């Protein structure tokens, strides 16, 4: 009798803690399940989530990931998640620009490993990678003392010809000015995000992934699995305890 009492108390304590630990997940399952069961009425598939926290969970870029620059006086060059955009139109896959050299008939966007040629109207002409350039990695873009564009690298400094086909080594002094960024207004940023990722993630998708735990990756799925196991233990132990109690002979009452 003395051994059964501590064992019973231990079982009751574990039962209580398992119930508390799984309560939060049961609440999440219940709320998301109710919402998903009324998707059409709530129009969950028509609501787009653009929160940077949620988009990051899906590996999607948010407005805070946009680097924008002025080009051709009134146009915009933007870099978002490995993609360059010219006035919200996809231009080329590239790293973040180190410099923009405007000219006629072509302008050049210089990145660490590429030179991207485009027209003054923003039309893509071609992209040249480091295998066709006199350097492997570009460090900066500057100008010579007489105003010519200069490509600066650890392998040396280079000036292009008028057509940006041939490059001559340059060893005199030069100037470097960092590429200035601009801030896009909310409408322009949203338009760029729409062009890049189609408007965000639907609320239906978020709730469905929250319901299954997939919103938090393998950790969320594992917690949901552990919660399900805890609920199974609670149910089976509760039923087992009730059955044992119901089978005990009733003690006759003394009147």
Split the chain (255 residues) into runs of 10 and give each run's mean pLDDT.
Answer: 57 65 74 84 80 70 75 91 86 92 92 94 92 93 94 94 92 91 85 69 81 73 73 73 65 55
Residue 5 placed within a domain: no
**Which residues of the chain form beta strands (DSSP E)?**
48-49, 67-71, 75-80, 83-86, 89-93, 99-101, 106-110, 114-119, 124-129, 138-144, 149-153, 156-160, 167-170, 174-176, 201-202
Residues 183 and 93 in one domain: yes
Question: What local confidence, expressed as pLDDT, does residue 247 receive?
Answer: 65
Residues 77 and 168 in one domain: yes
* C-alpha span between 154 and 112 (Å, rounded): 12
Residues 78 and 180 in one domain: yes
Residue owning tokens 């601009």: 182
For 231, the domain range is: 11-56+200-243
Question: What local confidence, expressed as pLDDT, does residue 3 receive?
Answer: 47
Residues 38 and 69 in one domain: no
Residue 217 placed within a domain: yes
Residues paired with 110 in a beta bridge: 99, 115
Residues 79 and 48 in one domain: no
Residues 67 and 188 in one domain: yes
Q: What is the DSSP letter of 216?
A: G
Describe the crossing of helices 217-247 and 4-37 by its angle, rounded to 10 degrees.
130
Residue 48 placed within a domain: yes
Residues 27 and 152 in one domain: no
Residue 137 placed within a domain: yes
Residues 176 and 97 in one domain: yes
Domain count, the chain: 2
∠ CA 32-34-40 to the nearest 5 degrees?
Answer: 100
Residues 192 and 216 in one domain: no
């Amino acid at each position: 009798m003395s051994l059964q009492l501590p064992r019973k108390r231990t079982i009751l304590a574990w039962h209580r803690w398992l119930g508390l630990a799984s309560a939060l997940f049961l609440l999440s399952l219940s709320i998301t399940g109710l919402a998903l069961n009324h998707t059409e009425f709530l129009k969950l598939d028509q609501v787009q989530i653009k929160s940077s926290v949620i988009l990051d969970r899906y590996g999607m870029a948010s407005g805070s990931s946009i680097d924008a620059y002025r080009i051709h006086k009134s146009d915009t060059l933007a870099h978002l998640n490995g993609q360059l955009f010219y006035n919200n139109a996809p231009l080329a896959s590239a790293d973040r620009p180190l410099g923009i050299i405007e000219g006629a008939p072509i302008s050049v966007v210089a990145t660490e490993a590429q030179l991207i040629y485009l027209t003054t109207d923003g039309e893509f002409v071609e992209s040249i990678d480091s295998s066709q350039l006199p350097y492997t990695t570009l460090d900066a873009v500057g100008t010579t003392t007489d105003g010519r564009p200069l490509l600066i690298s650890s392998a040396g400094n280079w000036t292009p010809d008028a057509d940006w086909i041939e490059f001559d080594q340059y060893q005199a002094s030069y100037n470097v000015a960092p590429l200035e960024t601009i801030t896009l207004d909310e409408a322009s940023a949203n338009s760029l995000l729409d062009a890049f990722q189609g408007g965000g993630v639907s609320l239906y998708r978020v709730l469905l992934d929250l319901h299954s735990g997939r919103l938090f990756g393998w950790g969320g799925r594992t917690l949901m699995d552990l919660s399900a196991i805890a609920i199974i233990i609670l149910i089976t132990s509760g039923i087992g305890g009730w059955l044992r109690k119901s089978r005990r002979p009733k003690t006759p009452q003394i009147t």
